[in-house]
Structure 1
Amino acid sequence: MMQVIDAHIHLDMYTNAQQQQLLQELDEHHTEALVAVSNHLSSAKQTWKLAQVDKRIRPAFGYHPEQQLPTTEELNELLRFMEQHHTDMNAVGEVGLPYYMRKEDPTISIEPYMELLETMFIHAVNWNKPVVLHAIYEDAPVVCELLEKHSIRQAHFHWFKGDESTVQWIVGNGYMLSVTPDCLYESEIQRLIQQVPLTSLMVETDGPWPFEGPFHGMMTHPRMIHASVAKIAELKRLPIDSVYHHLFANTKDFYQL
């Protein structure tokens, strides 16, 4: 096994015991760093505290879209925290649009979430930080338009799902996409891997989100990324050492690790 970086994990959502176990085992499983994203203010504060203790944790602060909108005061408090700690922050994220919430409740308006996303984009530009995106299926082209509107070049579409034309748009703009361990058993993700050039790919766990297939019943762990790398090499018919090298370099360069 060669070195990997988990490009997207919700470390604050693990229990304290799980966090300690995971961090103790990073070296054993050749994991150099974790890009730890946040869901809201308290999540950001926890992630920041974790990053102060272990420098392998690279924090991102933001407001996850699959939840109720923040109040004005909640948003202002989050933005104040991000401003205060922007030099500690590797990215703005996780941000995006609420695809799954709107599937469950079509009456939810997308416009306020777009306004929130634009606010995050404006601050990301001011802080010169990349953005970590939850933007899938038909939401992805909407987000691409907003990225272009704000001249954002550094965008990471995590656990991406969408049509081929959107993939081409994302890749053409120089944005990055990442895949999770579900690439071992999900044909949709396997097709995506075949479409996306290796230079545009990263690997992640999105832990503690659980997986099926060979990982059924297991705690999601960065060690699973090695199986993802092997699957990508198989699907692309490339030497596994080359795939390791490119995925590692892509993530290191994108997040300036």
Structure 2
Amino acid sequence: MVLIDTHVHIDFYSDPLSIALEYERLGIYTMFVTNLPEIFNKHLSSFSNFKFVRLCLGYHPQVSSEYKLNKKLFMKSIVSTQYIGEVGLDFQNVDKIIIKRQIEALKFITSEQFNKGRIYTVHSRGTEDEVLNILIENNVKHAIFHWYSGKVTTLEKIAEKGYYFSLNPRMLYTKNGQKIIQRIPKKSILFETDGPFARINRKIITPDTLPDIYCEFEKIIPNFEDTVFTNFRRLLFEKDYLS
């Protein structure tokens, strides 16, 4: 069985290459998200031949105050990947100009000219309904809501659209996280670490700790490993054949 990590910031580890090689050695299928097209472009040549690590083209909403989306570079880079992330919306502590910038960027990134045959991992903290509406508006077929923390009613709408949720280990330790885990349909469950940002007992999550984390999830979701693997395999099939 292959373990899955659908959302990790490998470039934020102190030694990114060693972390990536560890994912490879352990055979963990990994989505290496980036925060800007420039960062994706910087790492592209180094990660193009990895078997398990997939480099994702991203524009993180939390960098939007400092950086506008480089649309020209995004369009040039997207031909090199089928994985997009981290992208999304986050309106905390930003003004109306930045909110407008984020919305315009997400609409562009998820537009139909780009979304066929591609998987998005999306940031939606506090903006779950807005993100969902944009995905629906642009007819996005394949999306993963990363570390979901919103309303149950919106969760149900997301699941109805056939989108997925990547469960983060930190969700095991909060009441809201536990509530959300219980409400996500089994067919919609994936797994992420969001490393190195999400920590367990103040320790950074590394690839070798994933088996233990999966075991923790097994306590509340029977056959968790099989479920995640089956769902991710289905998502890859949908990406390749049902777009």
SS of structure 1 residue aligned to 2:62: coil
| Normalised TM-score (structure 1) | 0.82
Q: C-alpha deviations, 1:135-185, integer Å up to 9, x for none? A: 123x11111111111111211111111111011011111100012221332
Q: C-alpha deviations, 1:51-93, integer Å up to 9, x for none? A: 2242221121021111135447x332232222xxx2x413222
Counterpart selection for 2:117 from 118, 128, 131: 128
Kindly, what percent of the aligned residue pairs are identical?
23
Q: How does 1:76-115 map to 2 (within 5 A)?
A: 76-82=72-78, 86=79, 88-99=80-91, 102=92, 104-106=93-95, 109-115=98-104
Counterpart selection for 1:244 from 197, 200, 225: 225
Equivalent residue, structure 1, for 2:150: 162
Q: Is the 8 A contact 1:91 1:255 kept in 2?
A: no
Whether 1:141 aligns to 2:129 is yes
Counterpart selection for 1:42 from 38, 48, 62: 38
Q: Is the 8 A contact 2:190 2:228 kept in 1?
A: yes
Q: Is the 8 A contact 2:5 2:191 kept in 1?
A: yes
In the alignment, the residues of structure 2 paired with residue 59 and residue 253 of structure 1 have an alpha-carbon distance, to the nearest angstrom, of 20
Could you list the runs of 5+ residues in structure 1 that have no partner in the other structure? Answer: none
| Normalised TM-score (structure 2) | 0.86
SS of structure 2 residue aligned to 1:62: strand
Q: CA deviation at 1:26?
A: 3.3
Q: Is the 8 A contact 2:36 2:60 kept in 1?
A: yes
Q: Is the 8 A contact 1:199 1:250 kept in 2?
A: yes
Q: Is the 8 A contact 2:10 2:20 kept in 1?
A: no
Q: How does 1:51-70 map to 2 (within 5 A)?
A: 51-68=47-64, 70=67
Could you list the runs of 5+ residues in structure 2 that have no partner in the other structure? Answer: none
SS of structure 2 residue aligned to 1:235: coil
Equivalent residue, structure 2, for 1:198: 186
In the alignment, the residues of structure 1 paired with residue 88 and residue 220 of structure 2 have an alpha-carbon distance, to the nearest angstrom, of 29
Equivalent residue, structure 2, for 1:176: 164
Q: Once superposed, which parts of structure 1, at least 4 consecutive aligned residues long, lie more than 6 Å away?
A: none
Q: CA deviation at 1:126?
A: 5.1
Q: 1:77 to 1:20 in 2, by over 3 A?
A: closer
In the alignment, the residues of structure 2 paired with residue 136 and residue 42 of structure 1 have an alpha-carbon distance, to the nearest angstrom, of 24
Number of aligned residue pairs: give it: 237
Equivalent residue, structure 2, for 1:231: 216
In the alignment, the residues of structure 1 paired with residue 156 and residue 198 of structure 2 have an alpha-carbon distance, to the nearest angstrom, of 29
Q: C-alpha deviations, 1:211-240, integer Å up to 9, x for none? A: 143xx1x3321333333322332223x2xx
Give, as a single letter, the amino acid of the residue that structure 1 aligns with 2:141. Answer: R
Q: Is the 8 A contact 2:159 2:184 kept in 1?
A: yes
In the alignment, the residues of structure 2 paired with residue 35 and residue 205 of structure 1 have an alpha-carbon distance, to the nearest angstrom, of 10
Q: CA deviation at 1:115?
A: 1.0
Q: Is the 8 A contact 2:20 2:53 kept in 1?
A: no
In the alignment, the residues of structure 2 paired with residue 169 and residue 56 of structure 1 have an alpha-carbon distance, to the nearest angstrom, of 31
